[in-house]
Structure 1
Amino acid sequence: MDTVSRNPNLGLIETVRDALHALGVQSTLTHDPSGKWANLFATVPAHDGRTAGGIVLSGHTDVVPVDGQDWDSDPFKPEIRDGRLYGRGTCDMKGFIGAALTLVPTMLETKLAKPIHLALSFDEEVGCVGAPLMIDELVKRGVAPEGCIVGEPTSMRPIIAHKGINVYRCCVRGQAAHSSLTPKGLNAIEYAARLICHIRDMADRFREQGPFDELYDVPFTTAQTSTITGGNAVNTVPAECTFAFEFRNLPTLDPDAIFSRIESYARETLLPKMQREHAAAAIDFTKVAAAPGLDDAEAAAITQLVRALTSDTDRRKVAYGTEAGLFARAGIPSVVCGPGDIAQAHKANEFVALAQLAECERFLHRFIHSMSLEAQLR
Structure 2
Amino acid sequence: MQQTAPLAPDASGSSTEPPRTLELLSRLIGFDTTSDRSNLPIIDFIADYLDGQGIAYRRSFNPAGDKANIHAVIGKPGPGGLALSGHVDTVPVEGQRWTSDPFTLREDSGLLYGRGTADMKGFVASCLAAIPDIKAANLTRPVHLFISYDEEISCDGARRLIEDMAESGWKPDLCLVGEPSLLAPITGHKGRLAMRVTVRGRAGHSATPARGVNAVQAAAKAIAWVAEEERRFATQGPFVPGFDPPHSTCQVGRMGGGTGINIIADLAWFEMEWRTVPGDDFFAEVDRLRAYVAADIEPAMKAVDPDSGFAFEVLNWIPGLALPEDHPLADTVRQLTGRNSAGRVSYGTEAGLFQDAGIPAIVCGPGNINQAHQGDEWIAVSELVACDRFIRQMATRVCG
TM-score for the superposition, normalised by structure 1: 0.95
**Offset at residue 27 of structure 1 (A):** 1.7
Paired with 1:298 and 1:228, the residues of 2 have a C-alpha distance of 40
**Offset at residue 50 of structure 1 (A):** 5.3
Counterpart in 2 of 1:77? 104
Counterpart in 1 of 2:211? 184
Paired with 2:319 and 2:398, the residues of 1 have a C-alpha distance of 29
Paired with 1:92 and 1:156, the residues of 2 have a C-alpha distance of 13
Deviates more, 1:130-139 or 1:364-373: 364-373
Aligned residues of 1:163 and 1:320 also touching (Cα < 8 A): yes
1:219 and 2:249 are equivalent in the alignment: no
Correspondent of 1:63 among 64, 71, 90: 90
Q: Secondary structure at the match of 2:321?
A: coil
Paired with 1:202 and 1:372, the residues of 2 have a C-alpha distance of 46
Matches within 5 A, 1:25-36: 25-36=55-66
Paired with 2:342 and 2:178, the residues of 1 have a C-alpha distance of 17
Q: Secondary structure at the match of 1:253?
A: coil
**Offset at residue 258 of structure 1 (A):** 1.3
Structure 1 segments (4+ residues) deviating >3 Å: none
Structure 1, unmatched stretches of 5+, are 374-378
Aligned residues of 1:218 and 1:318 also touching (Cα < 8 A): no
**Offset at residue 359 of structure 1 (A):** 0.9
How many correspondences in the alignment?
A: 370
Q: Secondary structure at the match of 2:193?
A: strand
Tell me the alpha carbon deviations over residues 37-89 of structure 1, each in whole angstroms, 9 at most, x when there is no partner.
111110011xxx35320000001111111121111111111111121111111
Residue 307 of structure 1 aligns with an amino acid whose one-letter code is R
**Offset at residue 142 of structure 1 (A):** 2.3
Aligned residues of 1:169 and 1:242 also touching (Cα < 8 A): yes
Paired with 1:356 and 1:252, the residues of 2 have a C-alpha distance of 34
1:261 and 2:288 are equivalent in the alignment: yes
| C-alpha distance 296-108 of structure 1, shift in aligned 2 (>3 A) | closer
Counterpart in 2 of 1:319? 346
Counterpart in 2 of 1:288? 315
Matches within 5 A, 1:90-109: 90-109=117-136
Paired with 2:179 and 2:77, the residues of 1 have a C-alpha distance of 28
Paired with 1:41 and 1:325, the residues of 2 have a C-alpha distance of 18
Paired with 1:125 and 1:182, the residues of 2 have a C-alpha distance of 43
Residue 13 of structure 1 aligns with an amino acid whose one-letter code is I
1:303 and 2:333 are equivalent in the alignment: no
**Offset at residue 7 of structure 1 (A):** 0.8
Aligned residues of 1:175 and 1:239 also touching (Cα < 8 A): yes
Aligned residues of 1:127 and 1:165 also touching (Cα < 8 A): no
Tell me the alpha carbon deviations over residues 245-275 of structure 1, each in whole angstroms, 9 at most, x when there is no partner.
0000002222211111111111222111211
**Offset at residue 371 of structure 1 (A):** 4.4
**Offset at residue 160 of structure 1 (A):** 0.6
Q: Secondary structure at the match of 1:207?
A: helix
Residue 186 of structure 2 aligns with an amino acid whose one-letter code is I
Counterpart in 1 of 2:32? 2
Residue 26 of structure 1 aligns with an amino acid whose one-letter code is A
1:230 and 2:257 are equivalent in the alignment: yes
Matches within 5 A, 1:115-194: 115-194=142-221
Counterpart in 2 of 1:366? 393
Q: Secondary structure at the match of 2:391?
A: helix
Q: Secondary structure at the match of 2:208?
A: helix
Correspondent of 2:362 among 335, 344, 347: 335
Identity %: 38
Paired with 1:246 and 1:2, the residues of 2 have a C-alpha distance of 28
Residue 221 of structure 1 aligns with an amino acid whose one-letter code is S
Aligned residues of 1:171 and 1:283 also touching (Cα < 8 A): yes
Aligned residues of 1:216 and 1:317 also touching (Cα < 8 A): yes
**Offset at residue 235 of structure 1 (A):** 2.2
Q: Secondary structure at the match of 1:218?
A: coil
Paired with 2:183 and 2:104, the residues of 1 have a C-alpha distance of 25
Paired with 1:116 and 1:109, the residues of 2 have a C-alpha distance of 12
Residue 384 of structure 2 aligns with an amino acid whose one-letter code is L
1:38 and 2:65 are equivalent in the alignment: no
**Offset at residue 364 of structure 1 (A):** 1.3
Counterpart in 2 of 1:19? 49
Residue 194 of structure 1 aligns with an amino acid whose one-letter code is K
Counterpart in 2 of 1:376? none
Deviates more, 1:33-42 or 1:182-191: 182-191
Matches within 5 A, 1:272-283: 272-283=299-310
Structure 2, unmatched stretches of 5+, are 1-30
Aligned residues of 1:85 and 1:351 also touching (Cα < 8 A): yes
Deviates more, 1:270-279 or 1:287-296: 270-279
